Structure 1
């Protein structure tokens, strides 16, 4: 226990005194949270602006939906030219009982949104004209909190990514540096077991991950971003611990075969960056092709992202930790075993 305590304190002091490491562990990923948080802070607040020509019950019903901003034109050709030039996504022209919808196929997202809204409004107006009672009624509700904001999706993903950076780079660069400086050789000759060395380093990594979580959540909770924790949000702590050990194992594997810090840094980047983009850190992985979603399931970051999203945003309980925890533990055991087999005390 004395050796374990001494090693833990020494590693913690080395971590705190390394300003570059502190930057890449805390400031660098936090910059992404701030930038994306500010960019998407008001996402969804703007209405889709469309051109309208004419008046009547359809135009009145469109205005009442609250989803569209109507820009009135007196001439349909002028409004149609606006759509053709890409200035507006669609035009609704009403002439008596005829409703003409013209949209720009180049802006598929807005165009399909407008088509859906206009079609629904026209159907509703037609039903009202016939005075027939509706057979079916629709009640639309979000499964998440009504105050849900983009920051609640951004925080879990970027926090998981920050933990992966800290775990992989911290373990890999430390191992390579210690081997080059003969620190590992001295530790091997000292009356200190490998278990004490490894466990002390894991403890420092876990402490760093918890500190990252506290800093990220504290920044996201500020009024500028407006994060709101839901459900059993504290269940994110076990995921932080398990995620740290999984990425620490990856860092050990990288540090076991790399001989220089530059090589270790390059290998870590090759692993972390593709994993981040394919695991839903910066954009929903559901928008990718099916085969790519299947490939992403082999990455521990994908499962950590899903678990963090479930407990921080969707308000799920312990059941949401079962699959991510099993994957992270299994990944740690397999990669850790491989790293132990190829580990070298000296070059």
Structure 2
């Protein structure tokens, strides 16, 4: 334990003295948060007005192909027969509104968190109802519109940006830090010396892990504090569940860096490998833009990425009022990912040291 503590202190002091590392690990991601939070902090994340139509709705079913094409430019309509499921989608922010017909009444259940999109849905439905009533000239109105609000858990852009950029920052710091440290130590033959010393390779890896966990917690506090103080980030009651996700994701990204450092011979090569992994993963995991833009197959495939699991888990507990059940799967995936890659990396380090 003394060796582990000494190595951790050495790594931390070296990191704090390296101004470039401090900038790119802490300041640079915060610049992204400030920039994007200032630009889009009050905007909604939905790229289009999504509507679930439950069962038959006469005013929509009677439209001609040309009319449907016009409506399709405004509303992205999906069909379902399950009203309860449709309302759940509105609550989760996956749909802006749910439309159902009860007798001659067309009911619009919309999200209170997105008033502009809800107004669009309401105006379209009311226009269709008025057109249907005018077609029945000389008769009482055939249809009426009922509008109700659904309590909603969709998020404003700052609620989405904070977990995404935080995840990217943690991934960048842990991955690049682990890779560069191992490469430098291998170039200076420190790994062989440490392997022969009472400290051993496990202490080397453990020291890197302890320092990275501490830095990740510091990043989290900075991000949440700045987003809450300046961009009105609203934390839910279970926001603290983001902490185990931060720790687990740090271990997962560290394992990527350890593997990159164990398989490359120079800092430049290690950084290149990290870039190849982290940058595409950030976009495929929805760190910067919602994955609703992506095709369904890509959204499903990205679930295997540790950064996607982190983003979804933190978004649920930080912004959507989620609880322990929402972090179980992300934690399992992150810890399993970390265990596998760390085991491989340690074996490679031991082999070279021997």
Distance 2:199 2:41 in 1: 51
Q: CA contact under 8 A between 2:248 and 2:334: conserved in structure 1?
A: yes
Deviation at 1:117, TM superposition (A): 4.5
Specify whether residues 36 and 4 from structure 1 end up closer, same or farther in structure 2 by C-alpha distance, changes over 3 A only: same
Residues 1:165 and 1:4: Cα distance change in structure 2 (over 3 Å): same
User: In 2, Cα distance between the equivalents of 1:23 and 1:263?
Assistant: 21
Query: Relative to structure 1, is the Cα distance of residues 327 and 111 closer, same or farther in structure 2, using a 3 angstrom cutoff?
Result: closer
CA distance in 1, matches of 2:6, 2:120: 67
> Which residue number in structure 1 is paired with residue 221 of structure 2?
214
Name 1:144's counterpart in structure 2.
153
Return the alpha-carbon distance in structure 1 between the equivalents of residues 327 and 180 of structure 2: 30
CA contact (8 A) 2:133 2:143 kept: no
Question: CA deviation digits over 1:25-70, x for unaligned, max 9?
Answer: 111111111111111124259xxxxxxxxxxxxxxxxxxxxxxxxx
Distance 2:73 2:143 in 1: 31
Q: Which moved more, 1:270-279 or 1:287-296?
A: 287-296
Which residue number corresponds to residue 325 of structure 2?
Answer: 319
Equivalents in 2 of 1:39, 1:110: separation in Å? 26
Work out which of the residue numbers 126, 145, 159 in structure 2 matches 1:121: 126
Q: How many residues get paired? A: 289
What is the deviation of 1:295? 2.0
Once residues 327 and 41 of structure 1 are traced to their aligned partners in structure 2, the CA distance between those partners, rounded to angstroms, is 30
Secondary structure at the residue paired with 1:228? coil
Q: Deviations over 1:284-304 (max 9, x none)?
A: 113211221122122111101
Deviation at 1:133? 9.2
Find the counterpart in structure 1 of residue 245 from structure 2.
239
Bigger drift between 226-235 and 148-157 goes to 148-157
Give the distance between the partners of 2:212 and 2:35, measured in 1 at CA: 26
Please say if 1:158 is aligned against 2:168. no
Structure number with bigger Rg: 1
Alpha-carbon displacement from aligned partner over 1:301-340 (angstroms, at most 9, x marks no partner): 1101100000001111110111101101111111122222
Counterpart of 2:195 in structure 1 is 188
Structure 1: how far apart are the matches of 2:140 and 2:211? 71
Q: What SS class does the counterpart of residue 148 from structure 2 fall into?
A: coil
CA distance in 2, matches of 1:128, 1:346: 82
Distance (whole Å) between structure 2 residues aligned to residue 295 and residue 127 of structure 1? 44
Matched, 1:251 2:260: no
Residue 13 and residue 345 in structure 1: after superposition, are their counterparts in 2 closer, same or farther (change >3 A)? farther
CA distance in 1, matches of 2:120, 2:2: 70
Q: Is the 8 A contact 1:179 1:345 kept in 2?
A: no
Structure 1 counterpart of 2:5: 5
**1:173–1:303 CA distance, 2 compared to 1 (3 A):** same
Query: Larger deviation: 134-143 or 241-250?
Result: 134-143
Distance 2:73 2:13 in 1: 54
Q: What's the CA shift for 1:182?
A: 2.1
Matched position secondary structure for 1:140 = strand
Query: Structure 1: any 5+ residue segments left out of the alignment?
Result: 46-100
Q: Normalised by the size of structure 2, how large is the TM-score?
A: 0.74
CA apart distance, 1:142: 4.0
Cα distance per residue 1:200-250 (max 9 Å; x no partner): 211110000000001111110123x11111120000000000000011011
Note if 1:227 corresponds to 2:230. no
> Cα offset for 1:191?
1.5
Match of 1:263 in 2: 269
Q: Which residue of 1 aligns with 2:307?
A: 301
Within the candidate set 267, 284, 298, 1:278 is matched to 284
State the distance in 2 between where 1:192 and 1:42 align.
52
Question: Normalising by the residue count of structure 1, what TM-score does the alignment of the two structures yield?
Answer: 0.75
Alpha-carbon distance between aligned partners in 2 of 1:215 and 1:109, rounded to the nearest angstrom: 40
